[in-house]
Amino acid sequence: MRPIDRQAMALVVITLVADQASKQLLLGYLKQAGAVVPVIDGFFRLVIVWNQGVSFGLLGGEGALPPWVLSAVAIAVCIGLFVWLRRTDRALTAWGIGLVMGGAIGNVIDRARWGAVFDFADFHIGRWHWPAFNVADSAIVVGVGLMLIDSLIGDRRRAP
């Protein structure tokens, strides 16, 4: 296995462990402390939100797809990302793939365990409110960001 592949797989494992550990610890804490725990008044709180959609609650609600459908899509995406990983020689892309895969697998585990994804980070300023999210969602966003950055700066490096 190439070093770039090992790095990406290490990020998958690190992301997966951080995601599942944070969910386990915070779910237990929030069940005891109450469903909403203010951390920074008017800005950040810990909550219990069961997300039946995809990241940040998209496609959730009454018409949400069954957990097994979302999990199957996530697994198919991970397979595609793994194929992409084996073909890339670009570190930022590989690291992004590792983060996205780790986050996607973390949320698949939630759907298998609970039938929904446990989200706990809740940011708000005044009336503006960001949907609750978790470590897996954060890793997916950062991973996609790394891949986008690499696609922009990588092309500039190759230009004559």
Question: Is 119 annotated in the active site?
Answer: yes
List the one residue out of 22, 33, 29 whose CA is nearest residue 134: 22
**What is the per-residue pLDDT for 113?**
94
Q: CA 51 to CA 60: how far, in whole Å?
A: 7
Nearest of 47, 57, 40 to residue 23 by alpha carbon: 47
146 and 103 in contact (C-beta within 8 Å)? no
Tracing tokens 């804490």 back to the chain, one arrives at: 29
Whole-prediction pTM = 0.88
Q: Quote the CA–CA distance of 147 and 153 in Å, as a whole number.
A: 10
List 38's β-bridge partners, or say none. 45
pLDDT digit string, tens, across residues 141-152: 999 999 999 999
Sign of CA dihedral 48, 52, 53, 54: positive
- Whether 137 is catalytic is yes
How confident is the model over 50-61, as pLDDT tens digits? 988 755 444 445
Marked catalytic residue, from 19, 110, 119, 150: 119
CA distance linking residue 144 with residue 139, whole number of Å: 8
Predicted confidence at residue 155, as pLDDT, reads 61
Which one of the listed residues 110, 122, 137, 150 is annotated catalytic?
137
